[in-house]
A and B are shown apart, each in its own frame.
Chain A
């Protein structure tokens, strides 16, 4: 597999698995606006995953659906940050903001790529991600405005920080750290990243559910 396809699958798997996690708030978010927001963000992320899988599928001679649903749980390249099961609200917001902040750094580097197909797709994805970032930033403003909000956010960010670092390659981490520290007004721990390729137990549970319909369908079913 080429380095490019490997990268496309990493990006797509992050978006698919996080999209799935975000969709778990549909119907049960703490209030209606967030129910709508997380559902809509989930829809966007899964749309991004589809486009990325389609590019990868060209080289691999397969389809986006097969890449999304026919691989075993150990074959996903998603960062462990997105695999963690639905977390309580402060951690959900912390993960959302950490992922979107890291993803912004990653998209900026992809947009500058010499690979015009990948750069063009990254630019398109980034237009939509801008709304996810605005949404996450509104929450950070809200949480930083009170002592309780700040302390719950700090606790959640500290816990998730090693996972957040694992979203990016080594070279992009310093920029991500600088953005995050500036926004929070504090330093973040100097820790080892939880790298891509580690599979949290929660991913297997998610995979069971996510692929159950497709696995139960008779061979030759058309979607």
Chain B
């Protein structure tokens, strides 16, 4: 009989379909796992709602649980329970090494443009002389920044 720990381990092997350096567990989208009579209940929160990777994540979780001999019951939580603050420390480091600057902590009040202007570190050279180029990027979760020191544009995981 599959155990919850085995499920967590298996889910930690599933890469994010769009940012494969990071796993679903690193991303913090798996909120809870419970096992009862071979039924594996996974509480899952989408990241960005228009993210096309969400369906792929769901399919990957179902087939992983099937490999373990369980039956996946995936419950999607459509509420505010996922934040980029849920990305693990290990996940953040993996993003950085892949050239994607990790998100900054979610501000206590609402996010404002001023929070995004400064203080971001270039994932290539470590400089903080970087500026916002575009709030939007190639996927819903990314903004585009530019490093004035190494003159490299880079992607920034949006804080939400």
| A contact residues vs B (CB 8 Å cutoff) | 33, 36-37, 39-41, 43-48, 50-51, 54-55, 117, 120-121, 123-125, 127-128, 130-131, 134-135, 137-138
Most A Cβ at <10 Å: residue of B49, B51, B80, B160: B49
Q: Give chain A's interface secondary structure class.
A: helix
B:73-103 near A, CB below 8 Å: 78-83
Output the nearest chain A residue to B160 by Cβ-Cβ distance. A127
Contact with A48, one of B50, B112, B116 (Cβ below 8 angstroms) = B50
CB contact under 8 A between A125 and B79, given known A40-B136, A130-B110? no
| B contact residues vs A (CB 8 Å cutoff) | 48-51, 78-83, 110-113, 116, 133-140, 144, 158, 160
Question: Contact: B51 with A51, CB < 8 Å?
Answer: no
Question: Contact: A123 with B158, CB < 8 Å?
Answer: no
Q: Once the chains are docked, how many angstroms separate the CA of A41 from the CA of B136?
A: 8
Output the nearest chain B residue to A124 by Cβ-Cβ distance. B80
Q: Once the chains are docked, how many angstroms separate the CA of A91 from the CA of B135?
A: 21
For A33, list chain B residues within 8 Å (CB): 133-134, 136
**A104 → chain B, closest Cβ, in Å?**
10
**B58 → chain A, closest Cβ, in Å?**
13
Q: Once the chains are docked, how many angstroms separate the CA of A124 from the CA of B111?
A: 13
Output the nearest chain B residue to A134 by Cβ-Cβ distance. B113
Q: Once the chains are docked, how many angstroms separate the CA of A135 from the CA of B116?
A: 12
Contact with B79, one of A40, A44, A54, A124 (Cβ below 8 angstroms) = A124
Question: Contact: B78 with A120, CB < 8 Å?
Answer: yes
Q: Once the chains are docked, how many angstroms separate the CA of A161 from the CA of B153?
A: 39
Q: Once the chains are docked, how many angstroms separate the CA of A135 from the CA of B79?
A: 24
Q: Once the chains are docked, how many angstroms separate the CA of A46 from the CA of B144?
A: 22
Question: Contact: B49 with A130, CB < 8 Å?
Answer: no
**B119 → chain A, closest Cβ, in Å?**
16
Question: Contact: A125 with B49, CB < 8 Å?
Answer: yes
